[in-house]
Amino acid sequence: MTDLVLPRAGLPGMLRSEWTKLRTVRSTVWSIVAMAGIALGLMSVIAWAVMNQWNTADPGSQSYLREHPIEIVIARPVFIAQLVIAVLGVMVISAEYTTGMIRSTLQGQPRRMTVLAAKILVFAALMLAVGELLSFAAFFLGRAIIADHIPVELSDPGVTRSVVGAGLYMAMLGLFSLAFGAIIRHTAGAITAVLGLILIVSQLTELLPGNWGAHIHAWMPTNAGQRIFEPTLPPDALLTQWQGFAVFSGWTVLLLAVAAYLFKTRDA
């Protein structure tokens, strides 16, 4: 009698499994809906308020906004959306530790690097798709609101790269946050760490004195990554748009490497 040989579970099966888990968890769906609704809705309200007060604004403010329309239609939505992305990125993996489901996952697929790779690939693809859709939606919605006073087109210098770059930034931020979740393995602690870095530490580095302080501020992960959706840079910028995104990517890869090592060596 010939023994039945079952195929060895591999990456394709884990990708399907992780996609099923990600799309069927309510928190994922509601997080994406909240990210889009809050970002686009609040951006629309802010843009409408700015345009409504346009005639009473001082010429300096009007001139600044004409030169920086992306700050209204892209930078503000991304600033809001990144908070939700950070939470979602952490929960992609930390929630399994909280519920203990990570043990079941590793029993079904004991090759831990395959499990982690599947989580990273599925979440990266989702965030890239959502990020690009949100970026272009924010651009076209914002452009329609500010069109009477601030014309902006995709064909303007640096604008297309800024819109596409915003989606890339959000996808990379998702992986950056996932790495924190895998390293800390505690949802509240990992979310606090990521948001503290984004909202507090990264901003406080601007107060550091001298040239070394400027370099530290420029090379902080999210500070560097946000360069990618700036159409133009000041002459004294320490990093170009793509250099900044490369620095952010480097930080993310480093954290993912640490997360992979800990994921492989620690008990579930």
* Cβ contacts of 264 within 8 Å, gap of 6 or more: 112, 113
**Placement of tokens 């790779």 in the chain:** 117
In whole angstroms, give the CA distance from residue 77 to residue 36: 9
pLDDT digit string (tens) for the chain, length 268 residues: 444 444 556 788 888 888 888 888 777 888 888 888 888 888 888 888 888 888 787 888 888 888 888 888 888 888 888 999 999 999 999 988 888 888 888 887 888 899 999 999 999 999 999 999 999 999 999 899 988 888 889 988 899 999 999 999 999 999 999 999 999 999 999 999 999 999 999 999 989 988 999 999 999 999 999 999 998 888 888 999 999 999 999 999 999 999 999 999 987 6
- Angstrom CA distances, 254 to 117, 128, 261, stand at 15, 20, 11
